Amino acid sequence: MTAVRPVVRRAGDRGWLVECAGRRPAEVARAIRAKGWASELCDVIPAADTVLVVAERAAGSKGTPGMQWLASELRALLTEWSADRATAAAPRTVVIPVRYDGPDLGSVAERAGVTPAEVARRHTDAEHSVAFFGFAPGFAYLDGVPESLRLPRLSSPRERVGAGIVAIAGNQTVVYPGGTPGGWHQIGTTTARLWDVRDEPPNRLQIGDRVVFQEVAP
């Protein structure tokens, strides 16, 4: 069966939207940022299935008029990247200590048919990575929740969730930055500060980072 190739579609006067066709958008975004012509971009924004690429100006540095220069570069990169994913830099690893003491830990364990300790073990053993940011500043969506722990979001979200709450829904984990509503299953807490407007950059996590959750004693 022929593999589905990524598609590049026009998005606004200076942008193109890459439909990743099963490739990881975070990896595609890293590959784009690693290119020399990335200095001519103002935004590379991965989402769940796409990457939005926006140029500083319509014409490229080589004098190519309009936005076709960027489309050409993107298509060439995607062809190269599909054949050899070494074009992207190796991801960082960020360790996040977690106390598995969340109010929903028991119900997650019950629905999975395991003990709370087994939920913690499966969550820490899984391979997590930062897929994209959204919803609120500092809200990172981390892919990697094992199939046995995947649950839909709560039917009634909590009105406000504090900073450092570790929660899961579907195939993703989030660490709440604080002060937002939240409909995810809260399984633990961390003292790690992942978002602080006083830091530069304010996000400790970056797109594509590998995240290791490490259990610590309550």
Q: Where are the domains of the chain?
A: 7-87, 93-215
Q: How far apart are CA 15 and CA 58, in angstroms?
A: 9
Q: How far apart are CA 188 and CA 186, in angstroms?
A: 6
42 DSSP assignment: E
Per-residue pLDDT of the chain (218 residues; tens, 9 = 90+): 445 567 888 888 888 888 887 677 888 888 888 888 888 898 888 887 889 899 887 655 555 556 788 888 888 888 776 555 544 456 789 999 999 999 999 999 999 999 999 999 999 999 999 988 888 888 899 999 999 999 999 999 999 999 999 999 999 999 999 889 999 999 999 999 888 777 777 788 888 899 999 999 87
pTM, 2 dp: 0.69
Q: Over the stretch 83-132, which tens digit does the pLDDT of each residue have?
A: 555 444 567 899 999 999 999 999 999 999 999 999 999 999 999 999 88
Q: Does domain 7-87 have CATH number 3.30.70.1170?
A: no
CA atoms within 13 A on the CB side of 91: 23
Q: Does domain 93-215 have CATH number 2.40.100.10?
A: yes
CA-closest candidate to residue 210, choices 120, 126, 88, 98: 126
**C-alpha distance from residue 179 to each of 17, 80, 104 (Å):** 31, 42, 19
Identify the pLDDT of residue 1. 40
